[in-house]
Structure 1
Amino acid sequence: MSVAKALKQQEQGKKKGRGSVNNKHRLGAFAASSESHGADWGACSPEKLQGVIEGITRLGGAVIFGLSRDGGAYSVTLLLDKDKAALWFNADADVNQELDNVMGTLEAMD
């Protein structure tokens, strides 16, 4: 695509309210409060978290720990080379056992 065509498309996008021109609205929606529903990394064994971190970094990857927006699920995202695996566990799951499963997989890859 030519630079001129890209600039024209960018300008058209601005006229339609797309792209970065609507960030105030997006950030406002993002910041809106939501009720928590039980998932809490504080209830997890620190050794299990450390084990996952050590396992993925030993392979040259990274890990992201998070929660669903409503707090009803744990999220573990594993990044390795060009691969990305997003894992989700319900708030009532045995998160320590789930992390053991993740560590087992990472150890098998080592």
Structure 2
Amino acid sequence: MALADFILPSENIEFMSDDDVLFGEKRYRVIVTDRRFMLYSRRGLLFRSDDMISKRLDSISELQYKEKGFLLGTATISVLSDTKLDLAGSPSKMKPLFVLLQSILGK
């Protein structure tokens, strides 16, 4: 399966990240459609498998941004809905992603 197999027929992709973010111990691409916030990863070299996490946009109540550390710092974007998704990465990549997500999600 490819990413296109997870997109609904009337759904449009509004944003797809160029860089991976960490969720748990795994790397994902952030995708925002006109209906959903998604984390997508394609894993494996020989035997490919897809990993998808999806939240409806109307279920997202808040976005939070935090930075830790000075020299080799990390940044975290928290997506709050019925559950909390903590996405981590370098501040230079996560801060622009947070600003963009705020503008798309209107939070």
Greater RCO, 1 or 2 (C-alpha within 8 Å, sep 6+) = 1
Larger Rg: 1
Whether TM-score is above 0.5 comes out as no
Normalised by the length of structure 2, the TM-score is 0.32
Larger relative helix fraction: 1
Larger relative strand fraction: 2
Normalised by the length of structure 1, the TM-score is 0.31
